[in-house]
């Protein structure tokens, strides 16, 4: 039986990452990031500005082609293709960047550092164990966050106030990333279990809060985090990609946090 299509009403166990998980975790990570391309594309194309531009370009193609419906479709498709390329470039670029950074050596970057954690979720179906989810937490210092505010969030919409000063005594906090659940295993509380695991780890480490970044097309993830009490404290449209790509893709990155 194919575990990828057989996660209905199964039990999950969450454990620490092992080196033997490498290939399946890499595959899960790639699929989990790139699956956001289509939702981002459809969300961008439904924007009134993009709808208007697509209609205008299609009309121009119709006129220039001598009342050709094919030319109108071709011009409109070209615009849609450009928007898709922008969305794909943003997520693929993020994936590539992380694969060459912390994901390049999970053992060294997470397991050998007591301030960090990396966990996988296993499903047991007909005696077969399969990794179907993952999550990671990296410990951060107050100085690192200040640099992120001045750099990554420059020009964004920041939350603020006294709550930013409520960190642990040394200013450290946890940052969660790589929260991914394989599609057939969703809606079974696994995302909640992984989130709780991250929160428990932060509490054990003495972190006062847990923060994370989530992109605007990830509506299900935002809803999950809100149920746990996470609140949005920042929003920006800056990504590693060309700024025009970010503008055309209409993707916002939201910073959320929860005090523990």
Query: Mean pLDDT in runs of 10 for the chain (260 residues)?
Result: 53 94 97 96 92 88 82 90 95 94 97 97 84 97 58 40 49 95 91 97 96 95 97 87 82 94
pTM of the model: 0.84
CA-wise closest residue to 191 among 135, 232, 253 = 135
Cβ pair 58, 76 in contact under 8 A = yes
Position 143 scores a pLDDT of 63
Confidence (pLDDT) at 145 = 59
Q: 214: which strand partners?
A: 254
27: tokens are 């595959």
Domain check: are 169 and 245 in the same one? yes
Same domain, 7 and 136: yes
The sheet with strand 253-259 has its strands ordered as: 12-16, 117-125, 128-140, 173-181, 209-215, 253-259, 231-236, 157-158
Per DSSP, what are the bridge partners of residue 125? 128
Determine the angle formed by the axes of helices 190-205 and 219-227, rounding to 10 degrees.
Answer: 50
Task: Kindly report the backbone phi and psi dihedral angles of residue 253, in degrees, each rounded to the nearest multiple of 5, phi listed first.
Answer: -105, 125
Is residue 106, in this structure, part of any structural domain at all? no
Query: Residue 259 forms beta bridges with which residues?
Result: 209
Read off the DSSP letter of residue 168: -
pLDDT at 154: 37
How far is residue 248 from each of residues 74, 91, 93, measured CA to CA in Å? 20, 14, 16
What pLDDT does 9 receive?
Answer: 67
CA angle 77, 70, 83 (to 5 degrees): 5
Domain that residue 150 falls in: 3-29+112-259
Query: Which of 96, 94, 98, 89 lies closest to 249, judged by CA?
Result: 89
Q: Tell me, yes or no, whether 214 and 162 share the same domain.
A: yes
CATH of the domain at 248: 3.40.630.30
Query: Which stretches of 159-202 are assigned E, i.e. beta strand?
Result: 173-181
**The pLDDT value given to residue 241:** 72
Burial of 17 (0-12, 13-18, 19+ CB in 10 A): buried
Separation of alpha carbons 86 and 175, rounded Å: 27
Whether residues 93 and 202 fall in one domain: no
Q: Within a domain: residue 147?
A: yes
pLDDT for 68: 85
Residues 45 and 24 in one domain: no
132 and 7 in a common domain:
yes
Number of domains within the chain: 2
Determine the straight-line distance between the first and last CA of the chain, rounded to whole angstroms. Answer: 41
167 domain residue, yes or no: yes
Instruction: Say if residue 64 is in the same domain as residue 153.
Output: no
Which contiguous run of DSSP H or E holds residue 12?
Answer: strand 12-16
């Amino acid at each position: 039986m194919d575990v990828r299509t057989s996660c209905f009403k199964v039990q999950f166990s969450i454990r620490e990452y092992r080196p033997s998980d490498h290939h399946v975790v890499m595959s899960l990570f790639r699929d989990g990031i790139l699956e956001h391309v289509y939702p981002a594309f459809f969300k961008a194309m439904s924007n009134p500005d993009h709808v208007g531009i697509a209609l205008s370009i299609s009309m121009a193609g119709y006129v220039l082609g001598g009342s050709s419906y094919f030319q109108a479709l071709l011009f409109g498709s070209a615009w849609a293709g450009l928007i898709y390329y922008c969305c794909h470039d943003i997520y693929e670029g993020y994936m590539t960047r992380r694969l060459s950074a912390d994901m390049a050596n999970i053992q060294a970057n997470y397991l050998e550092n007591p301030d960090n954690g990396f966990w996988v979720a296993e499903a047991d179906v007909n005696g077969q164990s399969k990794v179907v989810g993952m999550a990671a937490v990296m410990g951060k210092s107050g100085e690192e966050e200040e640099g992120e505010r001045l750099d990554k969030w420059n020009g964004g919409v920041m939350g603020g106030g006294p709550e930013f000063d409520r960190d642990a005594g040394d200013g450290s906090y946890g940052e969660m990333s790589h929260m991914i659940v394989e599609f057939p295993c969703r809606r079974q509380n696994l995302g909640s279990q992984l989130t709780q695991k991250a929160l428990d780890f932060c509490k054990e480490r003495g972190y006062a809060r847990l923060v994370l970044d989530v992109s605007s097309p990830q509506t299900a993830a935002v809803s999950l985090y809100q149920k746990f009490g996470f609140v949005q404290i920042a929003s920006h449209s800056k990504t590693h990609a060309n700024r025009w790509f970010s503008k055309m893709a209409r993707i916002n990155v939201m910073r959320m946090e929860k005090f523990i």
